[in-house]
Chain A
Amino acid sequence: MARIDLRGIAHSYDPDATDPIYALEKCDLTWRDGGRYAVLGPSGCGKTTMLNIMSGIVTPSEGRLTFDDMDVTEIKTAERNIAQVFQFPVIYNTMTVGQNLGFPLVCRDAPKEVMVKKVNEVAETLGLEGLLDRRAKSLTADQKQLISLGRGLVRDDVAAILMDEPLTVIDPDLKFRLRRKLKEINEFYKSTLIYVTHDQNEAMTFAEDIVVMDRGQVVQIGKPKELFERPRTTFVGYFIGAPAMNMFEARVTGKNVVAVGDVEFATETDLSKTSTDNIKLGIRSEFIELAAKKTKNAIQVDIQRVDDFGNFQLVSAQTGHNAIKVKVKREVAVPGKQAWLKFPKSRCCVYADEALL
Chain B
Amino acid sequence: MDLIAKGLTYKPEDEFHLNDVSFGMQKGELYTILGRTLSGKTTLLKTIAGLITPEGGRMLFNDQDLGQVPVWERNIAMVYQQFINYPHLTVFDNIAFPLRQRKLDDGIIRGRVMDSLESVGLTGFEGRKIQALSGGQQQRVALARSLAKQAGILLLDEPLVNLDYKLREQLREEFRNIFSDKVSSNSILIYSSTDPLEAMQLGGDIIILDEGRVLQQGPAHEIFENPANTRVAEISNDPAMNLLSGAIDGSKIVIGDDIKLAVPAHFKSLTPSAYTFGIRASDVSLHQKGLPFKVELAEISGSETFLHVQSGRHTIVGLLDMVQNFDAGDVVNLKLDATRLYAFGQDGALVSSPFAGDF
Contacts and interface: CB of A to CB of B under 8 A. Distances in A.
B302 A201 contact: yes
A33 interface: no
Given A43-B164, A308-B220, A201 B301 contact: yes
Interface in A296-335: 307-312, 327
A154 B280 CA distance: 40
B201 A204 contact: no
A111 interface: no
Contacts of A198: 164-166
A189 interface: no
Interface string B12-42: 0000000000000000000000001100000
Contacts of A310: 196-197, 200, 221, 224, 237
A176 B299 contact: yes
B99 interface: no
Given A171-B37, A308-B220, A310-B224, A242 B303 contact: yes
Given A200-B302, A242-B302, A286 B321 contact: yes
B289 to A, nearest CB: 21
A240 B322 CA distance: 12
B196 A204 contact: no
Interface in B310-359: 319, 321-325, 328
B183 interface: no
A258 B301 CA distance: 30
Interface stretch (A77-85, A145-153, A223-231, A262-270): A223-231
Interface residues of A, number: 37
A321 B328 CA distance: 46
B200 A204 contact: no
Contacts of A43: 135, 164
Nearest to A168: B162
A241 B166 CA distance: 9
Nearest to A310: B224
A239 B166 contact: yes
Given A239-B166, A286-B322, A308-B220, A200 B301 contact: yes
Nearest to A171: B37
Contacts of A199: 165
A241 B303 contact: yes
| Overall SS of chain B's interface | mixed
A180 interface: yes
Contacts of B299: 176, 179, 201, 205
B165 A200 contact: yes
Nearest to A40: B165
Interface residues of B, number: 37
B297 interface: yes
A225 B325 contact: yes
A228 B322 contact: yes
A26 interface: no
B37 to A, nearest CB: 5
B169 A308 contact: no
B118 interface: no
Interface in A202-254: 204-205, 223-225, 228-229, 238-244
A21 to B, nearest CB: 17
A204 B165 CA distance: 13
A228 B303 contact: yes
Interface string B142-186: 000000000000000000000011110100000010000000000
A285 B151 CA distance: 38
A242 B201 contact: no
A198 B135 CA distance: 14
B176 to A, nearest CB: 8
Interface string B290-314: 0000001101111100101000000
A200 B36 CA distance: 22
Interface in B193-245: 194, 196-197, 200-201, 203, 220-221, 224, 237
A173 B220 CA distance: 22
Contacts of B296: 180
A336 to B, nearest CB: 18
Given A286-B321, A311-B280, A173 B301 contact: no
B282 interface: yes
A229 B305 CA distance: 14
A36 interface: no
A130 interface: no
Contacts of A180: 296-297
21 contacts: A43-B135, A171-B36, A172-B37, A176-B308, A179-B299, A183-B297, A200-B301, A201-B302, A225-B323, A225-B324, A228-B303, A229-B323, A238-B166, A242-B302, A286-B303, A286-B321, A307-B176, A308-B200, A308-B220, A310-B221, A311-B282
Which 7 A-B residue pairings sit nearest by Cβ, starting from the closest?
A241-B302, A311-B282, A225-B323, A205-B299, A204-B300, A199-B165, A310-B224
Given A225-B323, A309-B200, 13 more contacts: A43-B135, A171-B36, A173-B36, A176-B308, A198-B164, A201-B165, A204-B300, A225-B300, A239-B166, A242-B302, A307-B200, A309-B201, A310-B237
